[in-house]
Structure 1
Amino acid sequence: MTLADLYQSDGCTISFELFPPKTDEGIDLLCQNVERLLRFQPQYFTCTYGAGGSSQRATLEVLKRVKEITQLPVASHLTCVGSTVDQLCDYLQKATEMGVDYIVALRGDPPKGTDQFEQTSGGLQYANELVELIGKKFPDLGVAVAGYPEVHQEAPDAKTDMDNLKRKVDAGADIVITQLFYDNADFYRFRDDCQKAGIDIPIVPGVLPVTNFKQAQRIAGMCKAAIPANLEAAMTAVESAEDQFHVGVEHARQQTIDLMANGVPGIHYYVLNKSDAAAELLDGLSIQGPVS
């Protein structure tokens, strides 16, 4: 089953994103949470890596463990940052040998302390070039690319951002996974714009259940994702960490219910290696993904 095929059913395909822990204890805890998340019948897991490729090897080890535990497809993030074409191909070869099924192909963020991406000598400058490279050298790997409902922070306007996304799709992407957002109206507007631009592959919303207001503010600042007034009011109206957790999770649950009612092909959850928030927001919801 290809990556695109996972989104061809009438149900809502669920996937979860992880990141590589820094300690053996963290990896053990991650694996425990992955096992808990299996009850929601995810179709695959993805794993990021650190800035500039600092934890690429750890990413592959995490994905190997996850695949052993779940017997599900797994996807590795891959960016253009700090890598030559040969190094990218070397990573893709290792990923393939370790059983990685899909790649989340990204240009990558500028190095810490800078606000401008710099192309590595002998490397790639744009994500669409990475998608093309994967399609040419590793055609059996499914490819997801990123979309930005509230416009990429480096894009001068929404049209330029959409043109960039169209280039990635035309280069051979199978699906688009969006950056997190807190207001579903932003996603629906983005989805409509994708349709107008001739993008006809699955557009998968990315949802992060925020569990405290400081976290929401920090992530919103990093991703340029606006916090709706009702969410801010609800989270600041309570004081305890437990109450803020439930407010944030309930907001993500209502996002999920509304997204499903509006026909999204799937939802990608940024779970931050934990399972409590995802378990609470998904508990009791009727989600039926494709039959493998």
Structure 2
Amino acid sequence: MNTPAVSFEFFPPRNLDASFRLWDTARALSPLHPDFVSVTYGAGGTTRKLTHEAVTALSNHYGLNVAAHLTCVDASRAETMEIVDAYAESGVREIVALRGDAPKGQQRWEAHPDGFASSVELIEAIAARGDMTIRAGAYPEPHPDSGGSNAADVSFLKRKIEAGASSAITQFFFDAETFFRFRDACAAAGIDAPVLPGILPIQSWKGARKFAESCGTSVPDWAVEAFEEAGPEGEQALAEELCVKLCRDLLDDGVGHLHFYTLNKPDLTLAVCRELGVTANGLAA
């Protein structure tokens, strides 16, 4: 098994305690030499300013290659591209371009009257600048708005790549076979850009199930049974074991890059990376 390249996702802090957690997480994980780290947008674009502050701090103080999440939500085209300009001025050269979720209290996603109607349009506009690396989102299981069709998700991902995205990051999943089926479907559709599997080390089984329900990730019966049997006292040990197994299954089938959703909690991600041979000196501990 080859040692994989890794990347990490953080979210911007909303208060002082959360700020300390983010910086502690960055300090813990930056020695693993990630290819990049990404910083999310809050639902409905609610953390736009906080995301920008976190992105610039991670880039300037930790020397990390930072990819800033950017969505189409609740902003005009001009406002959205002003954000891209601000990132470029601060030296950030990577964007994770997403449609985004509906703002809180809004049943369905609706485009701003003067905004981008989709992530494809957003990617096209950013790509036209010629100075940004663009990553897109991908869904190995049907997106809640795709009508239950994986084929629709694959087709839309192809449009994102053709619009200018150079790679994609998937939503999290529980079974490696879920990713392999999606990867094969992408290849059959002519998508040759890298598709990076999104890995969620399960910090909380209750939280993971709630997250899965919101984003369309299916929860297999074996996982439900395993966590019920482990109970609260065995949850973290089981989470590490299952995450390591998932990653090894992916690596054994040719995956070379793993993207971890850290939830600004480094310990479980660190433990999994260590088991995979990803350490500060590049050697297994």
TM-score, structure 2 normalization: 0.93
- Out of 90, 107, 128, the residue aligned to residue 99 of structure 2 is 107
**Does residue 27 in structure 1 map to residue 19 in structure 2?**
yes
Partner deviation per Cα, 1:157-199 (whole Å, 9 max, x = no partner): 2222211111111001110100011111110000000000000
CA contact (8 A) 1:211 1:247 kept: no
- Out of 221, 245, 255, the residue aligned to residue 254 of structure 1 is 245
Whole-angstrom CA distance in 2 between matches of 1:93 and 1:281: 37
Whole-angstrom CA distance in 2 between matches of 1:141 and 1:73: 12
* Overall identity of the aligned pairs, in %: 35
CA contact (8 A) 2:30 2:64 kept: no
Question: Per-residue deviation at 1:80?
Answer: 0.6
- Out of 259, 265, 276, the residue aligned to residue 256 of structure 2 is 265
Unpaired segments of 5 or more residues in structure 1? 1-9
Q: State the secondary structure of the residue aligned to 2:263.
A: coil
- Which region of structure 1 is more displaced relative to structure 2, 128-137 or 104-113? 104-113
Superposition pairs of residues 207-246 of structure 1, within 5 angstroms: 207-240=199-232, 242-246=233-237
**Does residue 65 in structure 1 map to residue 90 in structure 2?**
no
Question: Per-residue deviation at 1:148?
Answer: 0.4
CA contact (8 A) 2:76 2:115 kept: yes
Aligned to 1:274: 265
| Runs of 4+ that moved beyond 3 A | none
Question: Per-residue deviation at 1:42?
Answer: 1.1
CA contact (8 A) 1:213 1:236 kept: no
- The letter for the 2-side match of 1:251 is L
Whole-angstrom CA distance in 2 between matches of 1:284 and 1:193: 30
- The letter for the 2-side match of 1:104 is V
- Which region of structure 1 is more displaced relative to structure 2, 175-184 or 257-266? 257-266
- The letter for the 2-side match of 1:234 is A
CA contact (8 A) 1:211 1:249 kept: no
- Out of 176, 190, 202, the residue aligned to residue 168 of structure 2 is 176
Whole-angstrom CA distance in 2 between matches of 1:115 and 1:11: 43
Aligned to 2:145: 154
Whole-angstrom CA distance in 1 between matches of 2:33 and 2:219: 29
Whole-angstrom CA distance in 2 between matches of 1:126 and 1:79: 9
Q: State the secondary structure of the residue aligned to 2:128.
A: helix
- The letter for the 2-side match of 1:280 is A
CA contact (8 A) 1:174 1:202 kept: yes
Partner deviation per Cα, 1:205-226 (whole Å, 9 max, x = no partner): 0010112321121111111111
Provide the alpha-carbon RMSD of the alignment: 1.8
